[in-house]
Chain A
Amino acid sequence: MATYPLKNKAFLCAFIILWIIWGVIHTVVLYYSFGFDIYTAVTDSLVSNIFLACSCALISYIFIFYRPEGNYLFTIIEILAITILWLIISNVSLSNIVHSAGYAVFLKKSLLIRFLIGCLIIGWVAVLSLFWYSSEEQEEHMRLHESTEKLAREAELFKLRQQLQPHFLFNSLNSISALIVVQPEEARTMIQQLSDFLRGTLKKEENQWVTADEEIQHLKLYLDIEKVRFSHRLETLIEMDEATRNFKLPPMLLQPIVENAIKFGLYDTTEQVAISIQVLKNANNELTIHVKNPFDKQTNVPQGTGFGLSSISRRLYLLFARNDLLETSTNGNIFNTTLRIPQTND
C-alpha cells in the first residue's frame, strides 16, 4: 500500500505554507488589481483556496487506491471532474456569503479564469502524486527484488555446500560398523576422524573464508576416512607451496573437487588410484589448486563437467561473478582439475 504524501510531516507543512502564500497572493490581487474591499478579497481567497486545497488532497488520496497505469484519458477526466466540482462548491458558497457591489458580476466573469487556475493546480498535484507513488512503488519493488535475490543466493549456496555429504557420511558409518567387532581401535580412530571432519564442516560459514592451510588440514581428514573405506586402493599426494599457506579461499570448495576426483578415480577403475593435489600461487598472485586423478575412458561418459564440478562452477559464479575459475582437462587417462581463487587484499 502506498503511503499518502500528506501523512509525511514535512510534506504537510510545505503543502500548508504554499497554500497560505497562494491565498495571500489571491487576496492581494483582488484587493489591489480589482479594487474589492478587504473583507471580500479575504473571503473569496479563503473559500476558494480552502476548497481547492481539499480538492488537491482528494485527488492525491484517490490515487492511493487507483492509479490509471498509462491511461491518461482517465486522469484528465478525473482532473476535470474534480475541478468542476470545486468550482461549483466554491462559487455557490461565495455567492451566498459575499454580497458586496459588483461581486456577483465579477464571480460570473472570472468563472473561466478560476476554472483554468483550478485545472492547472489540481493537474499539477495529480502529476506530482502519480510520480510520488510510482517512485515509491519502484523502491518497494527493488527492495523486494534485492531481498529475494539475496535469500535465493544464500539458499542456493547452502544447498550446493550440502550436496554429496549424506553418501559419504552413511558409508563411513557403515565402515565403522564393520570395524567395531574386528578392529575396535581402528573403529575408534575413524569415529574421531569423522567427528573432526564433521565439526570442521559445521563450523564453516559461507562468508568466512579460510586459509589454504586450514582447508588442506580439513581435506586430509576427509582423505584419511576415504582411505579406510577403500583401504589399499586410494593413495594421495599433497604438495603445498609454503607461500600459499595464508592464502584464502571460500570454505568447502576444495573438498567437493577432491570428492569428484575420488569418484572418477575409484568408481571408474578397480585398480589402485593415486590422487595428487598441488597448491600453488600463480603469476597473478592467485591461489591455484591442481587436482589430478586417473579415470577410465572406456566407462566414463564425458558429459560436461560432471555433477560435482558443475555445482562448484555455480558457486564460484555466485561468489565471484566469473565463469573461468574452474578448468578441467584430460591428458591420456588423467583428469586434471584446476581451481583459481583471486585474493582480495582486505
Chain B
Amino acid sequence: MIKTILIDDEPLARAIVKEYLKAYPEVEIIQECADGFEGVKAISTHKPDLVFLDIQMPKITGFEMLELLDCPPSIIFTTAFDEYAIKAFEANAVDYLLKPFSKERFDKAMQKWVANRNIGEASTATKQVIEHIAATPAQSNRVVVKVEGKIKIIPTLDIHYLEAADDYVKIQTSEGGFLKNKTMSFFEKTLDEQQFIRVHRSYLINMNQIVRIDIYDKESHLAVLKSGIQVPVSKSGYAKLKEALNI
C-alpha cells in the first residue's frame, strides 16, 4: 500500500488528483490538506510515501512547508505557473505537474516516481529542490521556523544575526532565538547578500542592525548591534564589511 497526502488549497485541484488516482488501487489517500500548516502536521503524523504538493498556498508556500520537515517525503509538485519553481524542478530529478495536466501526464509522473522510488532517489531529489528554490528571490524575504510544534514566520528584516549552533543555525530576533536545521552556507546563499554579511565562520549579521564596529585585537573586530550584542568579526569578515559599508 502506498500512502499519499494531497496538499492544495483549491478543493477542485485536489479533486482532479483524486480522480486520476482511482486508477491506482494500491495508492491510498490518507489525508487532504488545504494549507502548509495542516500539511506539516499530516506528514509528520502519517509519514506518507508520496505527497502531491501545490506551491502557492495560504500562509506558507509548499517549499517553506518542506523546509520545516526533518525528513521530507518524496513529492510530486503541482503548480499552475511559477518560473522559479519550474527551473528548480528541471535542475533536479523531481517530477512536477503543470496545471491543468492530463491523465497521460499524470501517469507518466507516477511511473517516474515508482522507478525513482525503487532506486531510492525520490527523497534526495526533493532535498535538492528545496536547496535550489530557497535561493530564489521570491523566497528570501522571510524565514519559516518551527517552535514547539508551532510554525513561525520571521521577516528577514527582523533578524538581528544568525549564529552557527552544531547542526542548527540560531536565528536571533527581538523575540529571542529560533533554531533551524540548516547550515550557515544555506542562509548565506538564500538571504539577501546586500543585507546579510558573513562576518565570521559562525556569524551572519544583518547590516541594518550594526551600530558600530570596535577593534578587538590585531586580527579581529567586534560588531556592536542595536540590541547591544557584540558579534565577533574575523579578518576576512571585516574586509567584507568594509566593502559593504563602502569604507
Residues of A within 8 A of B (CB): 166-167, 169-171, 173-179, 181-182, 228-231, 266-270, 296, 298-299, 301-303
CA A231 to CA B56, docked complex, whole Å:
17
Whether B90 sits at the interface, judged by CB under 8 Å, is: no
Most buried by A among B57, B80, B82: B80
Tally of A-B Cβ pairs under 8 angstroms:
80
Q: B112 interface residue, CB < 8 Å from A?
A: no
User: Are A176 and B100 in contact, with the CB atoms below 8 A?
Assistant: yes
B12 in contact with A228 (CB, 8 Å): yes
Chain A residue nearest to B17 in the complex (CB) = A178
Give every chain A residue within 8 A of B60 (Cβ-Cβ): 299
B155 & A174 in contact (Cβ 8 Å cutoff): no
Least CB separation from A181: chain B residue: B19
- Given A177-B100, A266-B58: A171 and B9 within 8 A (CB)? no
B36-72 contacts to A, CB under 8 A, are: 37-38, 56-60
Residues B16 and A177 in contact, CB atoms below 8 Å apart: yes
User: Which residues in B have some Cβ–Cβ distance to A below 8 Å?
Assistant: 9-13, 15-16, 19, 34-35, 37-38, 56-60, 80-82, 98-101, 141-142, 153, 155, 157
> Which A residue sits closest to B142, measured CB to CB?
A301
- Contact with B81, one of A170, A176, A178, A301 (Cβ below 8 angstroms): A170
Given contacts A231-B11, A270-B34, contact A171 B99 (CB under 8 A): yes
Nearest A residue to B102 via CB reads A177
Contact B9 A267 (CB under 8 A): yes
User: Cα distance A174–B99 when bound, in Å?
Assistant: 6
The complex places the Cα of A303 from the Cα of B142 at a distance, in Å, of: 10
**Residue from B16, B34, B82 whose CB has the most chain A CB atoms within 10 Å:** B16
Q: A270-B58, A299-B60, A301-B153 are in contact. Are A179 and B12 (CB under 8 A)?
A: yes
Question: A174 vs B54: C-alpha distance in the bound complex, in angstroms?
Answer: 12
The answer to whether A268 and B56 touch across the interface, beta carbons within 8 angstroms, is no
- CB pairs A–B below 8 angstroms (14 shown): A167-B56, A167-B80, A170-B98, A171-B99, A174-B16, A174-B100, A175-B13, A178-B16, A229-B12, A231-B12, A266-B9, A267-B56, A269-B59, A299-B59
For the complex formed, measure the closest distance between the CB of B169 and the CB atoms of chain A, giving whole angstroms: 20
Chain A's nearest CB lies how many Å from the CB of B65?
A: 12
Whether A167 and B81, one on each chain, are in contact in the complex, defined by CB atoms closer than 8 angstroms, is: yes
Given contact pairs A170-B98, A303-B157, enumerate 11 new A-B contacts (beta carbons under 8 Å).
A167-B56, A167-B81, A171-B80, A171-B99, A174-B13, A174-B80, A231-B11, A270-B35, A270-B37, A270-B58, A299-B60
Considering the chains assembled together, what is the distance between the CA atoms of A128 and B196 in angstroms? Answer: 59
Residues of A contacting B81 in the complex (Cβ-Cβ under 8 angstroms): 166-167, 169-170
Which A residues are in CB contact (< 8 Å) with B56?
167, 267
| Chain A residues with CB below 8 A from B35, complex form | 270
Q: What is the minimal beta-carbon distance from B194 to any residue of chain A, in angstroms?
A: 15
Q: Which residues of the partner chain A approach B13 to less than 8 Å between Cβ atoms?
A: 171, 174-175, 178
Find out whether the CB atom of B80 lies under 8 angstroms from the CB atom of A170. yes
Contact B58 A268 (CB under 8 A): yes
Please provide the 9 A-B residue pairs with the shortest distance between their CB atoms, ordered closest to farther: A174-B99, A170-B80, A178-B16, A178-B12, A177-B100, A174-B100, A166-B81, A175-B12, A301-B155
Contact B59 A270 (CB under 8 A): yes
Given A266-B58, A299-B59, A299-B60: A173 and B153 interface contact (C-beta under 8 Å): no
| B87–chain A nearest beta-carbon distance, Å | 15
Pairwise interchain contact A175-B10, C-beta atoms closer than 8 A: yes
